[in-house]
Structure 1
Amino acid sequence: MLKRGRQVAAQVALKVLDLLNRRRARTAPPRGTGTVRILLLHAYGMGGTIRTVLNLATYLAKEREVEIVSLVRTAEEPFFEMPPGVRVSFLDDRTLPRGPVAEFLSRRPSRLVPQEEKAYLSMSLLTDLRLVRYLRSLRGGVVIGTRPGFNLVMGLFAPPEVLTVGQEHVTFESHGPQLQAQIKRRYGRLDAFATLTETDLKHYTKALKPSRPKRLLRIPNAIPDLPGEVSTLEEKVVIGVGRIVWAKGFDRMVNAWKQVAEAHPDWVLRIYGSSTPEREEKLQARIDEAGLSGKVFLMGSTPQIGLELSKSSIYVVSSRYEGFGMTILEAMSKGLPVVSFDCPHGPREIITNGHDGLLIRSKKAAALANGICRLIEDEELRRTLGANALRTAAKYHLDVIGTEWETLLSDLDDRRTYPDCSLGTPA
């Protein structure tokens, strides 16, 4: 009975929203792309999505008014330097005290985002209301969503005069069935949707076949400008970068290093990335049990990863899956050859095996170790792959990828007729 009541309430709410959108469409100004707003979960945090969004904002701000809208704020200062000329605002600033109503709402779960959304626990009824209020306050421009939760809410609540662009920073297949179902139902209302890889573009093209966004395309991430020179490839250092989570497979990297350390005891492995205390302790225990203390170092996170890459000679990827593999390109931009498991989806679209890196088809740690040892022992191959890696990275320079975004926005500018305001059935 309660579920039926909620369904009826949702249907009524959608009908009211339909009427409001139709009324706004009659009096709203023409749609345009002069102002761009990018939705982020936590702009002051760290991670690949944040870094690439800041990169994109820097480029777009050359010709447009750009604002980064962070759903939450949990840190006093940003981990990365904020782009000059780009406004940053917060919908739920958790560094400030809340009133009793906001505190009450913040303890209630989100009603707009499925539990399978990886950011679900960071969202609440309070963030639902503030995000919807923010979207309804807009009077034109473009809104870019950077995760499924944002894309779904944009599809429902963005006013008709606002152009909506969704992004996928992981993969369609990595989302659970409930989230996939809502994606299929709602993404057709977006004006454009961009994936990072061709493989994921194929998956979305198939999944959204009944109702696709007006533009469905692939735009990879651009490489940010990183400090540090191109590596000399002379340091006896191998580096891995990423959050210490199961998907990144650092347990497999440590297992592989047992074999590498036996053959090349003068080489070391440095792992950079954020972690919870529990995960770091678990990985450190694996290192200690393997007798690799003094051989493998957990370095924590750093905003100056370019400097660390430039002091290394080989970059290793042990991931079980990758949405794209931004750190691969960052390593290549410093002339590092890459040894990577051929995991879905990004590495195989970036690395050409034997040209700018080595793709390891096997999932076994020993195979990864063999690839690392091959580059340690063959300096000529290491330098050849490193030189080619520089050329590969140049294809992902900000000026190159930024042009793709400019092309998309120009195309949306030419197709700025108002969409059908009908929202259909509730999710």
Structure 2
Amino acid sequence: MRIRYMLLHAYGMGGTIRTVVNQANAMAAAGHDVEIVSVVRRRARPQFPIDRRVEVTTLVDQRGGVHADSVGRRIWRRMRGKVVPRGEFAAGYFTERVEKAVIDYVSALDGGILVTTRPALNLISARRGPSGVVRVAQEHMNFATYRESVRRQIARHYGRLDAVAVLTGTDRDTYQRLLPGTPVVRIPNAIHTLRQTPSVQENPIVVAAGRLVKQKGLDLLIPAFAQVVRRFPDWRLHIYGTGPKKTELSALVGELGLDGNVELMGRTPRLDEKLAQASVYALSSRFEGLPMVMIEAMSHALPVVAFDCPTGPRDVLTDGVDGLLVPPKDVDALAGTLIRVIGDRELRLRLGAAAARTARDYAPEAIMPMWEDLFTELSAAPRAG
């Protein structure tokens, strides 16, 4: 099969990029003809390893600067596109030039499968994609977190797609009600491998990872860890990732006197190694799609303490069996639960062992056949006019 995966920025960091690259690599390894289409490019090299059999195409190269055109520079800067709704989280990327590049690429396709990976791209595929192309929308965030302007456009246009793939049962039910007659399937993201080094629960380290943005709730985790430090002063919190909240979070660490206990570690290409060296994984998100780094932590036999946020953690974890859930945004409850698992190594070992078993459900060997079956079924169906 000819499969094209379209990402906003395939050269960047983030859970969606990581999981889509994993999927493309697995499909290429299975013998399919695979291409990753990066709408924009702002780095020299991808941050995640891409199989040499996967073709990578860029639509708008912005390595010289977002508005680096020598002709019409100011026009591109002022004018936004007209298809992507303003409420889309990445709407700022879609200048008129960028949106036109995506429309031109999508409308010129002839056959094969096109998988788009965020509402902006899904909407362009729905509205401008040829009927001879199998068009599949991947939703990596839960529907309720989108702004009203985006939800309206989804309800209006997603029915033209051949299928919508979501990560959780909650979203599957939501989209089925919203799009009667359109196939909606739940296919979780796959982790890249199960062959991981398990934590031996010897290092006094709690790990969190993700973009330094409000969604990830690190401004809630750091005060919670301040309470942990009062009970366990030798424990440390390592936060991996970059983002616009770095200065604010660094200031919070200083205000709470946690400079020796909380470290913003930045980006790392060796996250698996860092997870294996930790003893607890903490997830403090205000909302999620499906938290893949959490599942990767589980594959290292790490116990998870997570906010019971919409959606994701409860779709993966069974509270008290392979992780512990606490009420959303409750800093004291998060602190108390971290204190509980830090103080009980046997509990950590039990939760971690169960977490590693749960992670098997997200192995490529379990997930990729779901995609192959879906693509085969859709390819065999008659195309709508």
TM-score (norm 2): 0.96
1:312 aligns with: 278
- Report the Cα distance in structure 1 between the residues aligned to 2:140 and 2:193, rounded to whole angstroms: 20
- Report the Cα distance in structure 2 between the residues aligned to 1:367 and 1:136, rounded to whole angstroms: 51
Say if 2:344 is the partner of 1:418: no
1:356 aligns with: 322
Amino acid at match of 1:198: G
What does residue range 302-341 of structure 1 map to in structure 2 within 5 Å? 302-341=268-307
Amino acid at match of 2:9: H
Contact 1:164 1:192 (C-alpha < 8 Å) held by counterparts: yes
2:369 aligns with: 403
Deviations 1:314-339 (A, max 9, x none): 00011111111111101001110000
Shift of 1:83: 2.0
1:9 aligns with: none
- Report the Cα distance in structure 1 between the residues aligned to 2:289 and 2:306, rounded to whole angstroms: 14
Shift of 1:80: 1.5
1:148 aligns with: 119
- Report the Cα distance in structure 2 between the residues aligned to 1:352 and 1:398, rounded to whole angstroms: 22
Correspondent of 1:229 among 197, 222, 232: 197
SS of aligned partner of 1:111:
coil
2:341 aligns with: 375
Distance change (3 Å), C-alpha of 1:178 and 1:386: same
1:51 aligns with: 18
* Greater relative contact order (Cα < 8 A, sep 6+): 1
Deviations 1:55-113 (A, max 9, x none): 00011112211000010011112212222200001110112563525774454211110
- Report the Cα distance in structure 1 between the residues aligned to 2:4 and 2:311, rounded to whole angstroms: 28
Contact 1:194 1:217 (C-alpha < 8 Å) held by counterparts: yes
State the superposition RMSD in angstroms. 1.5
2:267 aligns with: 301
Mean CA deviation greater in 46-55 or 170-179 = 170-179
Shift of 1:225: 3.0
1:199 aligns with: 170
- Report the Cα distance in structure 1 between the residues aligned to 2:78 and 2:31, rounded to whole angstroms: 41
Shift of 1:251: 1.1
SS of aligned partner of 1:395:
helix
- Report the Cα distance in structure 1 between the residues aligned to 2:77 and 2:45, rounded to whole angstroms: 22
SS of aligned partner of 1:223:
coil
- Report the Cα distance in structure 1 between the residues aligned to 2:106 and 2:323, rounded to whole angstroms: 44
Shift of 1:362: 5.6
1:10 aligns with: none
Say if 2:332 is the partner of 1:366: yes
1:28 aligns with: none
Say if 2:101 is the partner of 1:137: no
Contact 1:57 1:66 (C-alpha < 8 Å) held by counterparts: yes
- Report the Cα distance in structure 2 between the residues aligned to 1:142 and 1:328, rounded to whole angstroms: 30
Contact 1:106 1:127 (C-alpha < 8 Å) held by counterparts: no
Shift of 1:385: 0.5
- Report the Cα distance in structure 1 between the residues aligned to 2:48 and 2:74, rounded to whole angstroms: 29
Contact 2:142 2:310 (C-alpha < 8 Å) held by counterparts: no
Deviations 1:162-213 (A, max 9, x none): 110001111111111111111111100100110111111111112223xx42
2:357 aligns with: 391
Distance change (3 Å), C-alpha of 1:173 and 1:362: closer
Distance change (3 Å), C-alpha of 1:407 and 1:99: same
Amino acid at match of 2:210: G
Contact 2:81 2:100 (C-alpha < 8 Å) held by counterparts: no
Contact 1:69 1:88 (C-alpha < 8 Å) held by counterparts: yes
Amino acid at match of 2:359: A
Distance change (3 Å), C-alpha of 1:109 and 1:140: same
1:285 aligns with: 251
Amino acid at match of 2:32: R
1:15 aligns with: none
SS of aligned partner of 2:57:
strand
1:36 aligns with: 3
- Report the Cα distance in structure 2 between the residues aligned to 1:345 and 1:121, rounded to whole angstroms: 25
Look at both structures and tell me which one has the larger radius of gyration over its CA atoms: 1
- Report the Cα distance in structure 1 between the residues aligned to 2:375 and 2:50, rounded to whole angstroms: 23
Contact 1:230 1:334 (C-alpha < 8 Å) held by counterparts: yes
Aligned pairs, number: 381
SS of aligned partner of 1:331:
helix
Amino acid at match of 1:174: T
SS of aligned partner of 1:343:
coil
TM-score (norm 1): 0.86
1:189 aligns with: 160
Shift of 1:227: 8.3
SS of aligned partner of 1:100:
coil
Amino acid at match of 1:70: S
Contact 2:134 2:379 (C-alpha < 8 Å) held by counterparts: no
Contact 2:19 2:189 (C-alpha < 8 Å) held by counterparts: yes
Structure 1 spans left out of the alignment, 5+ residues:
1-33, 421-427
